């Protein structure tokens, strides 16, 4: 209402707490609750509506945390014990999120969080990395497919 939409190219949005498929939306699917931030479609709808649907969205962070290689996730990031997502889920969810975003026409840009961080501690950045500790990149395959 204050006119901010007149001065931005796109609305910045982060989605990095997902533990359910990007197509899921409410109904108790997320083990925590049904808050809109838990669901990829909820984030898109809420942020788009905030600007009357007149501005595209720019994901400046899109990530799914997997603690599979470490066997745990630090407690402040533990949303679906014991590891949040498997590496296969991380790859599938990233690919699906990009495919869904492209199909809706509301998303201008997506930055995947992250490519190759190696630190895994209280802030488990390496668990978000699409290049996994063994050098593999299952998400590279699903992301490439989502761009076809």
The per-residue pLDDT for 130 is: 98
Q: How far apart are CA 129 and CA 90, in angstroms?
A: 10
* 58 confidence band (pLDDT: 50, 70, 90): very high
Q: Which structure tokens are listed for 138?
A: 């299952």
Count CA atoms closer than 13 A to 15's CA, side-chain side: 32
Domain coordinates in residue numbering, the chain: 4-146
Label the pairing between strands 57-62 and 11-15: parallel
DSSP state at residue 23: T
Tell me, what DSSP letter sits at residue 116? -
Segment 29-48, tens digit of pLDDT: 999 999 999 999 999 999 99
71-98 pLDDT, tens digit per residue, is: 999 999 999 999 999 999 999 999 999 9
Q: Please say whether the beta carbons of 63 and 126 come within 8 A.
A: no
Which pTM value belongs to this model?
A: 0.94
What's the CA angle centered on 145, arms 45 and 54, to 5 degrees?
25
Candidate from 3-7, 8-12, 98-102 with smallest mean pLDDT? 3-7
Cα pseudo-dihedral 113, 121, 80, 20, rounded to 10: 10
């Amino acid at each position: 209402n204050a006119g901010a939409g007149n001065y931005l190219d796109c609305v910045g949005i982060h989605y990095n707490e997902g533990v359910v498929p990007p197509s899921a939306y409410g109904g108790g699917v997320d083990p925590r609750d049904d808050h809109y931030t838990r669901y990829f479609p909820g984030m898109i709808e809420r942020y788009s509506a905030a600007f009357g649907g007149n501005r595209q969205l720019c994901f400046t962070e899109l990530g799914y945390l997997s603690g599979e290689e470490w066997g745990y996730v630090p407690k402040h990031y533990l949303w679906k014990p014991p590891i949040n997502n498997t590496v296969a889920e991380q790859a599938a969810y990233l690919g699906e999120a990009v495919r869904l975003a492209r199909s809706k026409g509301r998303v201008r840009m997506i930055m995947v969080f992250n490519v190759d961080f190696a630190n895994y501690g209280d802030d488990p950045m390496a668990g978000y990395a699409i290049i996994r500790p063994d050098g593999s990149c299952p998400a590279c395959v699903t992301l490439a497919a989502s761009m076809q």
